[in-house]
A and B are shown apart, each in its own frame.
Chain A
Amino acid sequence: MALLEIKDLTVHFATEDGLVKAVDGVSYTVDRGQTLGIVGESGSGKSVSSMTVMGLTRAPNAHISGEILFDGQDLLQASDDELRKVRGDDVAMIFQDPLSSLHPFYKVGKQIAEAVRTHRDTSKAQAWDRAVEMLGLVGIPEPRRRADAYPHEFSGGMRQRAMIAMALANDPKLLIADEPTTALDVTVQAQILELIDRLQDEFDTAVVVITHDLGVVAETADDIAVMYAGRIVEKASADMIFHGPEHPYTWGLLRSIPRLDTPRDEELVPIAGRPPSLITLPGGCSFHPRCPYVRDAHRRTEPGLVPTDADPQHLVACLLDQGTRRRLWGQLEAGETPKEARALAMEDGEVELDTDVAEAGTEPGAAAARAMDTAQTAKEEEAG
């Protein structure tokens, strides 16, 4: 049995501007000891889905449905108190910005000890010792002395290590790492990722890494789910995502990874346009306004998340013909720009493009952008 099984999870927030469909029918599983990477831009629902696992999105205006089976227990049905007991014990979480995620007024050791004492019936001294032990384990030198320091006296990397120490202090079965390296220097990023990887082996913890940067999960993840506008658009083994991605959005993400082998001053290729408003999702394939390969039919038909012919574990939600997809990816991998790739595909008659729509679609109207921002803010508030 999978450690975590999420079935058809939807998380909607009722706001003044309308219903924000933050997560809209997401399913995935994580096994013991496995690492799942969830990748997407901000607003794709990747954080909301995992925070819902922790029960951190519960609010009067949140409508949550589906199933979240953790160790066989449906966390959606659990009471607040039951969920609280799971939180920080069986499921732990680390966050993007370690400075703002640690309480500025309490000593680091105390904050870790508090996590211990919340779930374990230990003395203050024992909890403190555990905190020191954990700090040592995450590689903080002189842990006994550093435990007595405040977060602002730590460097960025040390803070994230402390966060990890706090998260792992109760030996959780599942660790959710929400953008664990985004706020850190590139060199420190690697150290932290390596640390998570090492500890995962040591503790046999399942890990869900949430990131907007495919590079972060390149080395560590077993499986990768790509989310867009509240849905999973592609899900496969990490290997497959990097070598045989089938969704145009995934292609865009892959092309925006900074590579060590490309010169620093070379411009990264971002995905044109902005994520759509979660209140008024585009009809049909929700990626269509930004998709360079869009066909008229894509604006009406919603794609389903279906396995590819080659690999039943490789799920893609795209209306393009599988052959076209492969050819396009081939062009892109060969170094063509999306425009060139598209041109080639057009020659084949595979893609009939309405250039105007494609161009226009990359610039969502100001009103939509505003609605998007509002929804985003509202959602974050509820989540917090």
Chain B
Amino acid sequence: MTRDEALFEYLLRLGDNTLILGHRVSEWCGHAPVLEEDIALANTALDLIGQTQLWLGLAGEVEGKGRDADTLAFLRDAWDFRNLLLVEVPNGDFGRTLMRQFLFDAFHSILLGKLMKSSEPRVAEIAEKASKEVSYHLERSADTVVGLGDGTGESHARMQAALDYLWPYVGEMFTGDEVDAEMADAGIAPDPASLREEYDALVGKVLAEATLEIPDSQFAHKGGKTGSMHTEHLGHLLTQMQWLQRAYPGASW
């Protein structure tokens, strides 16, 4: 694998995380429990889709085969996606959506902080832009996790159930492969395992404040970022997200 091939794969991982999570979060548009939450979720989704345009745009440029961000987003099939399994799981209830958001935001903010120092300037400048937006996402999702976790009996139980369900998807963030090794060697991106300590400290602090208990298990679902095995949910998501371009190729407005 050449360095550019590894960089292309790595950029797909970044762009597919924001694309798939952005799409999932946008499913709440018009359905959130209160207006402020609806607006907050729609804004978060919008930021994530904006970041996707930058990451996948750069991926297409690095690949050099004439594929732009739209082509990569709308004309690849499930096995070519490189997002974490965490971001493709269905929204569940509002509590689960916010717990997933928090677990991802914490990882995202730590990762972007490192990518701002990337040896590849095109990566560093996107990370610089995205990191400002993500600090608001994290503030919002952490506040909501604390509010609901340390809330009523009902909200606490739902948040604990959400954490129990989602925790096995956290481990994948810190797994590494030859793509990560190539990126770390080149100083383009950090070794994923090196982010774990900071992540556990940040997440541990917020979840303790939320009176929630982290499950005592190291088991991790894997296969999303390498593309070796996605969940069944990704295909269903793509049928919605890609429908227009599949049915009317090249449609634009």
- On whether the two chains bind one another, the answer is no
